[in-house]
Amino acid sequence: MEPVKLAVVGAGLIGSKHARLIHGHPECSLVGICDPDSGRRPVAEEYDVPFYGELSALLEEQHPEGAVVATPNGTHLAVAEVCVGKGVDLLIEKPIADTLPAARRIVELADAPGSRILVGHHRRHNPLIGEARSLVQGGALGRLIAGSMMWTLLKPAEYFQVGWRSRRPQGGPILINLIHELDILRYVCGEIRQVYAQSASQARSLEVEDSLSITLSFANGALGSIIASDATPSPWSYEITSGENPYYFHTSQNCYYFLGSEGALAFPRMELWRYGGPDRSGWQYPLTKACRTVEPADPLVLQLNHFCRVVRGEESPLVEAADGARTLAVALAVQESVDRQAPVAVPAQAGAGNGFP
């Protein structure tokens, strides 16, 4: 089987990581890199592939079958329109876009015959997340009552030397970081109906928030909460506890908790807590703990494996454009709630028609 020909559009931090994974992958080949910043040319030189400042030139000369879009959020739609027009399938980094109208248009592109778009919510490919979803959706916890998340860590000072990270609307942890947590809540627990969020920026006094408290309600009646801060020396976040990214110091702590009528799950240690039986349940009886063993795997590699199969037409996207747009709608509702200081309902049909959930 011939390797799938892939290009990378946007050669920043994330795009460079995708280029490295594609270059070393046996099922695909890196045929070119595009970035309007000529200072990113060394990324292409490292992998001995052509570098382009114009996307159209890359598509016309290299004829990739698929492309990874790792450009700023506000450019995703423009890149998608060019690529889909040339019959190129896409892996679009999260979030799918910066606004709901742009997301709706990408959903329309994905609905066109022969068009395949995968949204890069890569954590869904992590076997740990897959097991958590199976336990919750499969009824191992009984009826879901609540989900609670901690995303608390300390971003180093140099992180904010990149100017847009400290300015709205692109900066701040909601769209950069917490969109992951919101997507996992949707994936594991079900659709989010309403959010109520408060923020603070007193730790750094920047334009963007550094801390948030978010409460959520789900369509199935369950409740949720997220405590988030990028300004505290804490061991409780997905990045630090999951061991997924070796760049982060790793701790053997939990950061997510899923609570049901018959049991509770602590993630990522996969600790399943239950009583001994219906006749021995209640606070006066001991709880038992069973740990699920999950074989670790790099979700970015698994996502790339999946994208190759999507391009070949062997699989449908795990995260379709409409699904990614729904997560964006939740994140934007969180931002709106912060600004209005009031609960905000997540539109049940944020993009009616076009397959938008």
109 Rama sector, left if φ>0, alpha if ψ -120 to 50, beta otherwise: alpha
Supply the pTM of this predicted model: 0.94
Query: Burial level of 96, CB count in 10 A (0-12/13-18/19+)?
Result: buried
Give me the CATH number covering residue 77. 3.40.50.720
Could you tell me if 117 and 251 lie in one domain?
Answer: no
Domain-embedded: residue 344: no
| 147, two tokens | 């989900």
Distance, in Å, from the CA atom of 243 to the CA atom of 298, rounded to the nearest integer, reads 10
| 223, two tokens | 């409740």
Tell me, what amino acid is at 272? Answer: L
Domain-embedded: residue 248: yes
Scan for tokens 């920043």, then name that residue.
12
Cβ–Cβ under 8 Å, residues 30 and 6: yes
pLDDT (mean) for 284-310: 97
Domain-embedded: residue 325: no
Q: What is the pLDDT of residue 352?
A: 39
Could you tell me if 118 and 239 lie in one domain?
Answer: no
Q: What is the pLDDT of residue 207?
A: 87
Q: What is the pLDDT of residue 349?
A: 59
| 91, two tokens | 């892996």
pLDDT (mean) for 334-346: 97
Could you tell me if 133 and 281 lie in one domain?
Answer: yes
- Expressed as residue numbers, the domain containing 237 is 127-296
Distance, in Å, from the CA atom of 200 to the CA atom of 203, rounded to the nearest integer, reads 8
Q: What is the pLDDT of residue 45?
A: 98
Cβ–Cβ under 8 Å, residues 174 and 250: no
φ, ψ dihedrals at 33, nearest 5°: -130, 135
What is the number of domains present in the chain?
A: 2
> How large is the C-alpha radius of gyration of the chain?
21
Domain-embedded: residue 214: yes
Could you tell me if 157 and 112 lie in one domain?
Answer: no
Domain-embedded: residue 342: no
Could you tell me if 110 and 143 lie in one domain?
Answer: no
Could you tell me if 51 and 165 lie in one domain?
Answer: no
Mean pLDDT rounded to a whole number for the chain = 95
pLDDT in tens, 22-47: 999 999 999 999 999 999 999 999 99
Domain-embedded: residue 266: yes
3-class state of residue 70 by DSSP:
coil
Distance, in Å, from the CA atom of 156 to the CA atom of 204, rounded to the nearest integer, reads 12
Dihedral sign for Cα 318, 323, 324, 330, please: negative
pLDDT (mean) for 147-160: 95
Domain-embedded: residue 352: no
Domain-embedded: residue 201: yes
Q: What is the pLDDT of residue 294?
A: 97
Quick one: what percent of the chain has pLDDT higher than 90?
Answer: 89
**Beta strands at 287-291 and 271-275: parallel, antiparallel or unpaired:** antiparallel
Q: What is the pLDDT of residue 169?
A: 77
Could you tell me if 181 and 81 lie in one domain?
Answer: no
Distance, in Å, from the CA atom of 166 to the CA atom of 174, rounded to the nearest integer, reads 12
Could you tell me if 95 and 184 lie in one domain?
Answer: no
> According to DSSP H, which parts of 161-275 are helical?
173, 179-189, 238-242
Could you tell me if 132 and 278 lie in one domain?
Answer: yes
Give me the CATH number covering residue 163. 3.30.360.10
pLDDT in tens, 82-98: 999 999 999 999 999 99
Q: What is the pLDDT of residue 351?
A: 42
